[in-house]
Chains A and B, each alone.
Chain A
Amino acid sequence: MTDRERVQLLQGTLDLVVLQTLALGSLHGHGIATSIQRTTEDELLVDHGSLYPALQRLERARLITSEWGISENNRRARYYTLTRTGRKRLVAETQRWEATVRVISRVLKPRSAT
């Protein structure tokens, strides 16, 4: 799949995706990246690098925390965990996202809505 065919991430949705990914448990940066790739079956265009500014942003907002740990193949890696606030935010953001999608879909396909 070439980059052109991949879906560009909407502004601000990367945060939501990262939060959802961490909802299942702590992960390091590479783990998050592969997890996103796997769940979206490689259809989402995410530069792995762009995760890191997002992670820092979320940590500064206290939605996630991080600490150094040892990875599955014995390497030092920083693990990120969802906080309680992060979990609440995830629920709220998910609802909002769904609402947005519903509305936008109705606009884009008016006939199926009637």
Chain B
Amino acid sequence: MNIPRWLRWRSHTELDEEVAAHLEMEVQAQVDLGLTLDDARRAARRRFGNPAVVKQQARENDPLFAFESLIMDVRHSVRSLRRSPGFTIAAVLTLAVSIGATTAIFSVVDGVLLRPMPFPDPDRLVRVTLHTRPQANATVEMPFAELGFFHFVANNRTFARVGGVSIFAGTNGNDEWALTGSGAPYPLAVARMTAGAFAVLGMAPQVGRFFTEAEDRPGGPPVFLMSDALWRSMFNASPSIVGRTVQVNGAPWEVIGVMPASFKFPQAEVDVWIPFQLDPTSRNVNRPSIGLIARLAPGATVESATSDAERLVAGFAAIGYPLNWTRDIITGKAHVRTVKDDVVGRSRQPLLVLLGTMAFVLLIGCSNVANLFQVRAEARAVDAAVRVALGSGRRRVVQLLLTEGLIVALAGGVGGVALAYGSLRGVIALAPASIPRLDEIGLNLTVLVFTAMISLTAGVLFAVLPALRTRTSRVLTSLRAGRSGSTGRERQVVRRGLVVAQVALALALFVGSTLMVRSFAALSAIDPGFDPSRVLTFRVAPGATRYPDGEDVARFYDTLLESVRAIPGVVTAGAASFLPMTGGIGGLGGPFLGTEIEDAPLEPGARAPNSVFRRATPGYFETMGIRLIEGRTFINDDHQRRLGSAIISQSLKNKYWPRSSALGKKVTVVATGAPARVVGVVADVHDTAPDAPVEPVVYKPMLDERGGSIRAMAVTVRTDRDPLAVLPEIRRTIAAADPNLPLSDIQTLQTVLGASMSRTSFTMTVLVLAAGIALFLGAVGIYGVMAYGVAQRTDEIGLRQALGADRASVFRLILVDGLRMDALGIVAGITASLGLGQALSSLLYGVSPYDGATLALAAITFLAVGALASALPVLRAVHISPAVALRRD
């Protein structure tokens, strides 16, 4: 591209003309002095100096020159890159893969960890929880009961506003809600919020209003706010929704507003928010469910708020908390942390580890490409030296290298973004649902800027290393060395250093991924205590309008299970209050209840030890494949005739009756009141997670002595075919019995089990991918350097052979050289992997971060890879014929 003449400060042709005129005048002057025309011309040119340099310098004064020369450089670079497609494709692909992987993981980190919460001033938004004694509960943190909540509202000194929230129904609430009245029931995830909680969060509805303090009192009206997603999917985003009455669980509720799409609190899936309608006079502390959120008062910090909260907790006994609470359950400590930390929580560590490993991959990729550039620059060293000698400024040569580096880096960056875009869906699908804010992940501006930055940095890096060699002092050496360029030792040192670093990083990744694979294998090998194959599960919750008392609910489940069992393909069916590994009630540890055992009387005043409490129907154990140890499983008479029966798990039996039968023994789950007789003992089940210790479980029938029944249950159906294939028939059966009843959380038991290990499997998959890329790139790196080294030493090898060295000694010479690099890398890598193992330790199961076998495996693998990558060039080396080698130049 040429700059239009009128844009130029002075055209090239004008300068050309001026120079030509000058030379002619000088020739004339010399002729006048008596020289012949030829001599005069020579003299004039000597006087003038190098016209090319003069014009070049003159051009550099032109402001457009920089731009013009950039375009020239780009064209030149593209041409020269196209001339060596092997190099270009290798470099761009390597970069695309490593940049793409890094970008994909960075976008996850950005979406989850970096991007601020949508609330105004989110750093002043905190969540307060009570610290419980470890033995009191499965969770170490507990929400508030009304008593404590209103104590905080009235007496705190560090909060500007205080609000309460809780998940009420859906996802992990304990009740099932649904939109009814128009077609199939639509299950809802419901959160309860105090009017103050909205003020704390500081986000306004996009349509309508919040509920008022008056609506947020016991006995207040049935009103709710809905999510943007529900508004769009069910009500066509109609603004006239506000004020309309819709049917929820068959009762009329008024819609008062719609929250913005960015409002995802307390979690993303919430469909509707209803007023908490807390009763300030309630003295019941046994079912604490209020999540306390607050906005820090001006001047308050998380630290000052923590000590304020602990001062308030210290007063709990004085305001009416029973003695066993202040002594046995809560410690008097409180956690105050920002809402963001609360949401991100456990996901931070694995994500940062993964980002770190991707940085390793990126480093390996970059050093590989840098090596390619080095080799290429050396091959063209003479070319560059000639340019410098011919008067091309060193700046120009460096600029050209820089352009080339940047073009390759940008191409790699673009390829990387494309790869990341393609793989991001896969990454998100793979990611455990426990990672919060997954829906906020995407290739946004921050991510693109990040990618552009790493691409540019990489490009500059590639250019700078070879550019160092254009230092003028070296030019002459290069020219003298002739075609083969310099075999300078220092060049090799840089390249070898890069290869050692690559091997080290790749080995660390290899160790990390092996540790994760072994953890995953160990997790998968755990017998969860049930058989997850071919079992379909879903939750239902018969509403109180249609099924007013416990008897109705129990009859509903009896009929439902009976008709489901009759469906072709169904082997057995049963139901339980909660499935293993689906979590308890919203962080409350609800299903853990004190259990008294008649044969083991408590000390006076002591608290009964906890066990997991579940209600189960006949057929549940058979469907789940939970083995019966002694006695029997539940039958219909257990609930219909209220036999007061219970089934306990093996660990509970072993604890109290290690040598005798537990049948007929009396156990009392304190919260349910009446004692029950053990009719059966079943195998232990890993209830919280595969890697969590086995908890004792007490199962009771769905209808209890007091006549109450649990409404929401998880139905399990064992099939003899693909469990999802029977789902349509199940839906039809249930709709025939009750058209208003929604099914929620429909999944196979295998999925439930898989989800409980997803944190491990996600980290493992990403690490294995990273290690695979790293191992491959590392091998390519060793091979490249070895092959190049051999090519460089062709003369030497030829000479050695000519002087009588046999093939074996040449073989040793080169192989030892390659293995030395490899070994150095392995030693460095093992050191690095100890650090990585430390970072991974919270994710490991059944394997030590410093596992010797893993380290040995890694060392052996890398020795083998290194030997293989070195062997190929070596084989070439020993077949070099001395005559050919020596004649080559």
Interface residues of A (CB under 8 A from B): 28-30, 33-34, 47-50, 52-53, 56-57, 60, 71, 73, 75-78
Contacts and interface: CB of A to CB of B under 8 A. Distances in A.
A47 B29 CA distance: 16
Contacts of A33: 22, 26, 47
Contact of B61 (A56, A73, A75): A56
A91 B22 CA distance: 29
Nearest to A57: B61
Contact of A52 (B19, B26, B28): B19
Given A47-B49, A53-B58, A56-B61, 19 more contacts: A28-B22, A29-B18, A29-B22, A30-B25, A33-B22, A47-B47, A48-B22, A48-B48, A49-B48, A50-B54, A52-B19, A52-B54, A57-B61, A71-B25, A73-B28, A75-B24, A75-B25, A77-B21, A78-B14
Interface in B44-88: 47-51, 53-54, 57-58, 60-61
Contacts of B21: 28-30, 71, 75-78
Contacts of B50: 49
Nearest to A53: B57
B450 interface: no
B269 to A, nearest CB: 66
Contacts of A75: 21, 24-25
Contacts of B9: 60
Contacts of B15: 52
Given A57-B61, A73-B28, A75-B25, A52 B47 contact: no
Contacts of A30: 21-22, 25-26, 29
A47 B28 CA distance: 18
Contacts of B48: 47-49
B376 interface: no
Contacts of B49: 47-50
A48 B58 contact: no
Contacts of B29: 30, 34
Contacts of B57: 50, 52-53
Interface SS, A side = helix
Nearest to A78: B18
B38 interface: no
Nearest to A73: B28
B543 to A, nearest CB: 86
Size band of the interface chain B makes with A: 20 to 34
Contacts of A47: 47-49
Counting from the closest, the 8 A-B pairs by CB-CB distance are A47-B49, A49-B49, A49-B54, A53-B57, A30-B25, A48-B48, A56-B61, A49-B48
B115 interface: no
B603 interface: no
25 contacts: A29-B21, A30-B21, A30-B25, A33-B22, A47-B47, A48-B22, A48-B26, A48-B47, A48-B48, A49-B48, A49-B49, A49-B54, A50-B49, A52-B18, A52-B58, A53-B57, A53-B58, A53-B60, A53-B61, A56-B58, A60-B9, A73-B25, A75-B21, A75-B24, A76-B21
B889 interface: no
Interface SS, B side = helix
A56 B21 CA distance: 17
B510 to A, nearest CB: 57
A101 B28 CA distance: 38
A51 to B, nearest CB: 8
A82 B603 CA distance: 111
Contacts of A29: 18, 21-22
Nearest to B28: A73
A76 to B, nearest CB: 7
A15 to B, nearest CB: 13
Question: Max chain B CB contacts within 10 Å: which of A34, A47, A52?
Answer: A52
B10 interface: yes
B17 interface: yes
A48 B47 CA distance: 6
Contacts of B25: 28, 30, 71, 73, 75, 77
Question: Max chain B CB contacts within 10 Å: which of A34, A56, A73, A76?
Answer: A56
Question: Max chain B CB contacts within 10 Å: which of A47, A57, A71?
Answer: A47
A78 B13 CA distance: 13
Contacts of A77: 18, 21, 25
A106 B853 CA distance: 79
B107 to A, nearest CB: 48
Contacts of A73: 25, 28
A76 B58 contact: no
A33 B54 CA distance: 15
Contacts of B28: 73
A49 B53 contact: yes
B523 to A, nearest CB: 73
A53 B52 CA distance: 12
A100 B396 CA distance: 35
Contacts of A76: 17, 21
Question: Max chain B CB contacts within 10 Å: which of A29, A33, A48, A57?
Answer: A48
A73 B50 CA distance: 25
Contacts of B54: 49-50, 52-53
A71 B50 CA distance: 24
Nearest to B57: A53
Nearest to A71: B25
A56 B10 contact: yes
A4 to B, nearest CB: 14
